[in-house]
Structure 1
């Protein structure tokens, strides 16, 4: 982490997916300039050219080791949109279950294992009194949306966590905890609350595993699910068969969901609110573009006219709801700019259908090219996506479930809705989204069971890709980090061009042709930096977006080898 005069370079940012470099200039104790640089080159889109569109989902979920299911699902939707392939309701419900449960795993991991240590001083927990910690933990039931106490919030659990931490520190091999900014001036939690957070950190490992197991039951594997096919899923449904998705497996899924739902409602939400209470000023720090985009998701019928999650676009004070994936303004309004990205394209700004990934590496140039991420824009506006965009879009559209949870968390944290556009607000929005994912997972499971009473169909197979003309399509998905879109051109039955515009590209992108910073860069401006050699504030702001840089860049297998072959029966 080099410091050169008033310049700080954090490379790499750790506890994220992928490789990210952040540079800032500090004047008067605050950030005066910033750069976000994705440091990896990917290129799967280029590999896609000439491949059978039906196999696209299997390759594109290799964009990332975290959001594998979201890319697979978005890719399937892209091909189905291009070729106008209908999907049975049961298949939508199974896909929705995979999507919502994968999001739950992702959000639990992000808060506890990727960002909590920005706010929690692990070393301080060694001086905590377990009895006091147990009493405080019991009181956190007041922050649960169901008012339920967590059974392990007790003296015994806190003492056990402290003993485990002391034994670990005693080895003098701190591993991932070794380079934390322990003792930083802005670490504010009491030793007891730090101990509670550490105890829940350990428990979260088990609950993220449980919900990942539920995804694997449906998807046959996790990560990189195996049960998708254009037109539905390959998960046969027969409640009386041992070789299909039967009632035993459904009940197993529900038990895992029940356990994880309790953890989210009784531990995750109270912890976010409790930590936010100690860092309330961070609801006023890290603000970025007041423009937001989210798409409708969790389709509830084959006609794609009903969605569990509402979509919307907020540009300044103007809100317009997106009710369908066919929205022409949505499809036409997205572009990517490469003025400051390491690509040499025919034009600096291209629509995703015409997207190119021609590398043009120049080394890091402050006023030139400095990132492998492009700069997406919506109708030429710097726009952010993510849980904050999704909850604000739902709130503005009047979604009662969103309003219920936003109002609950905001009131308990003592903040206003506009303050969600902040470092702590992004963490709160992700927790709110977790509550939404729990409820929608239950709704989809219930609808699956009800529908299967009269209809157990799960796929409309596409046996041949038509070669009569050119086809274009786009798939959308509200991934854990925000709006994901895949764009395809099909010619002679094969993929002619493929582009993915992912959530972390929207937020991590560099400046555009007008010199406008991306959301990461904007969020860092005027941020206080207490210690130049321990830029904890920078880490906090960037981690609040839950960066996934592996998804945000573009790569190619230099030998052009086929990665997977999908057979359609």
Structure 2
């Protein structure tokens, strides 16, 4: 897409360039920059979102048992992640834990969602940034080099040169592009087997699931999973070849989309043998997740304790279109362990929209600025699109060892069994030197393989439950008059938390925080830019086009490496709204007026 361009009016000689909306993502993300073409570098960046929806407003007063059905509609892409996180939150608030097989079924559904969504984004959306047609338009010299460069893993994936890989990614006509579309259909089928409907689950409830657990059910899932495992044995080496080539072909490309390593992962895929959803034991069962929670700063693991992670969350307004709620009612003074809860924590947040004209020197977006407070500073953490944070956190903690996947303290090993045409294969994702565009994309591929391997373990555990006669998938519960709950998981694109307060048996406060507010956040109250903004600022420009034909491919690669999905971060605002009046006519027909 061609940006809107004009000279900056601040006398800097920079060009203002805007991509609004960003294409090949869901939602209304705008990226507004000032580019220094003399230095071939982005000087400034602002991330905007122009719509407000307000789930945290209209959830108040609802029956808490409806929370997962409502919050699933936050997004038409990762709705099941929201439903799952809401169910986790309700489980804590109601004091219920599903039967083991119910939790294995949820894990299998979420694993299928990761496989589906990462596959379709990697090959059919962000992959277009690296296809032959795109590279030919923006870097013809790089394409010439790709034609002459043999693919090191051609024997595994079947493409002789790097240019052949790029051609396979051409939209609609590329061989690999079309194959990935077929795979996405298969992974959707896997999800529906477990949770009834994609992407808004129909069989997912607090206390478990309504899915009927049978050997046939898990066999149907497993047959599709094994085809996906075989597919991954080609995908991982293919992307390693492609991304390694960009480092070799364009010296300095590691700087594209690079920012300080500030990663957050809330953990995913609970182990029902340890997880009882109680807050008091959350530190313990959180570390037993099959994706380990963690906060990584400059490559160091700061904490993998979900209680610490929870208490450190702060919602800053910064440059967003809201009024501050400082001084208003605190819903939660202390957590169930007696720890004080800050007024800027989601449990205590009030959402007060204040629509206004966009002003890059003031307020310019509906996305707030979630931060994590380490005791001295508010860190602008990012998910890196999800997989890089998940793998990095899991690798550093070294707590996962289930045969199919192991975390070593510095890497994650993925063991895929023999499939129809390919032998047993082991991949190892090693902690990279950078958090940049290429490594975010590479991690997405490895996490697909990781999830497939973990799902093999989940199928085995579910089969064991059925063979032992443990087929009850749901546990009874009562809704208390007063309670609080929080749920932590990983949406496809990264961290997802839901926080709920129940009073008089109804929702008094509810705040979902998915990855988009973290990644697309604006400059906060301390002037710190959000991750999209930070990753694009100072990104070098390697595109070979002149200013008149500039596409901004390096900027687009930086942004899309985060897998942006704006529905979770934006909302809709109607002011005082409209009143719809139903008029009954003598014929029995009705019309709408007012």
Deviations 1:503-556 (A, max 9, x none): 111111001000001111111121123444311111100000000110112346
Q: 1:67 to 1:506 in 2, by over 3 A?
A: same
Counting only pairs closer than 5 Å after superposition, residues 393-404 of structure 1 correspond to structure 2 as 393-398=393-398, 399=400, 401-403=406-408
Contact 1:13–1:22 (CA under 8 A) maintained in structure 2: yes
* Shift, 1:307, TM fit: 2.0
2:278 alignment partner in structure 1: none
1:477 alignment partner in structure 2: 489
2:381 alignment partner in structure 1: 383
Aligned-partner SS, 1:122:
helix
* Shift, 1:196, TM fit: 2.9
Counting only pairs closer than 5 Å after superposition, residues 179-328 of structure 1 correspond to structure 2 as 191-197=163-169, 198-237=174-213, 246-266=214-234, 268-280=235-247, 281-304=252-275, 305=285, 306-316=288-298, 318-323=300-305, 327-328=306-307
Q: Partners of 1:550 and 1:71 in 2: how far apart?
A: 12
Deviations 1:204-228 (A, max 9, x none): 0000110111111221111211111
Counting only pairs closer than 5 Å after superposition, residues 431-510 of structure 1 correspond to structure 2 as 431-454=445-468, 455-462=470-477, 464-467=478-481, 470-510=482-522
Q: Partners of 1:554 and 1:125 in 2: how far apart?
A: 38
Contact 1:231–1:461 (CA under 8 A) maintained in structure 2: yes
Deviations 1:29-74 (A, max 9, x none): 2011110112221212222111111110011011111101100000
2:11 alignment partner in structure 1: none
Aligned-partner SS, 2:290:
strand
Counting only pairs closer than 5 Å after superposition, residues 27-426 of structure 1 correspond to structure 2 as 27=36, 28-122=39-133, 140=153, 149=156, 153=158, 191-197=163-169, 198-237=174-213, 246-266=214-234, 268-280=235-247, 281-304=252-275, 305=285, 306-316=288-298, 318-323=300-305, 327-347=306-326, 350-379=344-373, 380-385=378-383, 386-398=386-398, 399=400, 401-403=406-408, 417-426=431-440
Deviations 1:399-419 (A, max 9, x none): 46245965799xx99997343
1:514 alignment partner in structure 2: 526
Q: Partners of 2:19 and 2:318 in 1: how far apart?
A: 23
Q: 1:414 to 1:453 in 2, by over 3 A?
A: closer
Q: Name the stretch that deviates more: 306-315 or 518-527.
A: 306-315
Aligned-partner SS, 1:419:
coil
Aligned-partner SS, 2:257:
coil
Deviations 1:426-483 (A, max 9, x none): 0011112111100111111110011222211211122x4122xx31111011121111
Indicate yes or no: 2:28 matched with 1:19.
yes
* Shift, 1:277, TM fit: 2.1
Counting only pairs closer than 5 Å after superposition, residues 503-542 of structure 1 correspond to structure 2 as 503-529=515-541, 530=543, 531=545, 532=547, 533-542=550-559
* Shift, 1:136, TM fit: 6.5
* Shift, 1:335, TM fit: 1.1
1:430 alignment partner in structure 2: 444
Q: Partners of 2:562 and 2:133 in 1: how far apart?
A: 22
Q: 1:413 to 1:513 in 2, by over 3 A?
A: farther
Relative to its length, the structure with more helix (as a share) is 1
Q: Name the stretch that deviates more: 85-94 or 275-284.
A: 275-284
* Shift, 1:12, TM fit: 0.4
Aligned-partner SS, 1:393:
helix
Q: 1:117 to 1:154 in 2, by over 3 A?
A: closer
Q: Partners of 2:159 and 2:363 in 1: how far apart?
A: 54
Contact 1:277–1:413 (CA under 8 A) maintained in structure 2: no
TM-score, scaled relative to structure 2: 0.78
Contact 2:270–2:289 (CA under 8 A) maintained in structure 1: yes
Q: Partners of 2:35 and 2:567 in 1: how far apart?
A: 28
Contact 2:486–2:497 (CA under 8 A) maintained in structure 1: yes
The number of residue pairs the alignment matches comes to 497
* Shift, 1:270, TM fit: 2.1
Contact 1:57–1:71 (CA under 8 A) maintained in structure 2: yes
**CA-atom RMSD, angstroms?**
2.9
